[in-house]
Structure 1
Amino acid sequence: MINTSTFPVIETKRLILREVSIEDASSILTYLSDEEVMTYYGLEPFQSINDALDEIAWYQSILNNKTGIRWGITLKEQGVVIGSCGFHNYVSQHFRTEIGFELSKEQWGKGIATEAVAAIINYGFEQMNFQRIEALIEPPNLPSQKLVEKLGFIREGLLRSYEYTNGKFDDLYMYSLLKQDFEKVV
């Protein structure tokens, strides 16, 4: 399902979703060092270029291990990475994966995250043959909940103390979108 031979580039009306490289480390550091962007990310705000390089190494490792894929979000006219989105925790025998996304604060409220996430959902169902895409979202993270609900995800329940991040246990809502309930949104 996850092909590592050629990285798929996805184009939308305003965006190009592409592979992230070490040349993107400074732009990743810019938005992942922002406290507001990192509120629900599960990590402390990045402090150095090495933090960004570690993130890029994680993107490469999930691709190499065939457990996920992460695209850099760029505006067509700029080419600078302003966020990322992708799939992780892919379970091939169950055709199931989780989705994740984040975006630079300067780009919030413009529909960019929705456009990017819709594009990778289309790709996931059509090209990667997923049956189920999950989103795990902290209850206070209302913007992410609204985004996935707009794209057709259903909240299935609350996973209590599901993750331990930044020195605390977090509850997470479990959302899912099934292939048979999916309507192409791009």
Structure 2
Amino acid sequence: MSAEHFPIIETPRLRLRKITAEDANSILVYLSDEDVMKYYGLLPFTSVDDALDEIAWYQSIQDQQTGMRWGITLKEEDIIIGSCGFHNGVPKHFRTEIGFELSKAYWGKGIAAEAIKAVVNYGFDHLNINRIEALIEPANQPSQKVVEKIGFIKEGLLRNYEYTNGKFDDLYIYSLLKQDI
């Protein structure tokens, strides 16, 4: 999942690009929101250092060739309003997971679906991926609706799959195969 230079993806409304340290304040704005972080697996961010740590993680998964994370911007503005990308990739099995989040100010406008669809297509077309998984908490119905809209299929429930913020979380596992699109 490496790229010599980070790919830019454009959609009708969005420009998906690499997130840099200069974006830390923008990321802090939405990742400090309790509603955005409710199903993220981390506590709301409280400092620019938290955002810089997140950006460092994005770079580390790219360096390790286990993922790529794009910043979501509106074409007319170059401000990060969310992110979307791959993590926990297993190249020998042509499989990866997708994750995403979006500033609450942009919920309900189809932006997440537009970004996810573009990233999914990029993964299938350029990264030799065959299977993309989405792991979503049962209570996170908006995210379930977004991935279902794109064509992901719910395969089942992973019980007590993750331990985050002092509790075990069940997660639905969704998948989309290259042959499905």
What is the TM-score of this pair, normalised by structure 1?
A: 0.96
**In proportion to residue count, which structure has more helix?**
2
Is 1:40 aligned to 2:42, yes or no? no
Give me the whole-angstrom Cα distance separating, in 2, the residues matched to 1:89 and 1:5: 20
Give me the whole-angstrom Cα distance separating, in 2, the residues matched to 1:3 and 1:63: 6
**Where do 5+ consecutive residues of structure 1 fail to align?**
none
Is 1:119 aligned to 2:118, yes or no? yes
Is 1:53 aligned to 2:52, yes or no? yes
Give me the whole-angstrom Cα distance separating, in 2, the residues matched to 1:167 and 1:160: 16
The runs of at least 4 consecutive aligned structure 1 residues that moved more than 3 Å come to none
Give me the whole-angstrom Cα distance separating, in 1, the residues matched to 2:114 and 2:151: 14
Give me the whole-angstrom Cα distance separating, in 2, the residues matched to 1:99 and 1:105: 19
Is 1:173 aligned to 2:172, yes or no? yes
Partner residue in 1 for 2:103: 104
What residue identity is the alignment partner of 1:32? Answer: L
Give me the whole-angstrom Cα distance separating, in 2, the residues matched to 1:178 and 1:77: 33
The alignment partner of 1:5 has SS state of coil
Give me the whole-angstrom Cα distance separating, in 1, the residues matched to 2:92 and 2:66: 12
**TM-aligned CA deviation for residue 3 of structure 1:** 2.5
Taking only aligned residues, the RMSD between alpha carbons, in angstroms, comes to 0.5
The alignment partner of 1:37 has SS state of helix
The alignment partner of 1:81 has SS state of coil
Is 1:129 aligned to 2:137, yes or no? no
Is the 2:2–2:63 Cα contact (8 Å) retained in structure 1? no
Identity fraction in percent:
71
Is the 1:162–1:172 Cα contact (8 Å) retained in structure 2? yes
Partner residue in 2 for 1:89: 88
Partner residue in 2 for 1:3: 2
The alignment partner of 2:147 has SS state of helix
Give me the whole-angstrom Cα distance separating, in 2, the residues matched to 1:147 and 1:4: 27
**Where do 5+ consecutive residues of structure 2 fail to align?**
none
Count of residue correspondences: 181
What is the TM-score of this pair, normalised by structure 2?
A: 0.99
The alignment partner of 1:44 has SS state of coil
Give me the whole-angstrom Cα distance separating, in 2, the residues matched to 1:74 and 1:102: 12
Partner residue in 2 for 1:151: 150
Is the 1:71–1:85 Cα contact (8 Å) retained in structure 2? yes
Partner residue in 1 for 2:62: 63
**TM-aligned CA deviation for residue 129 of structure 1:** 1.5
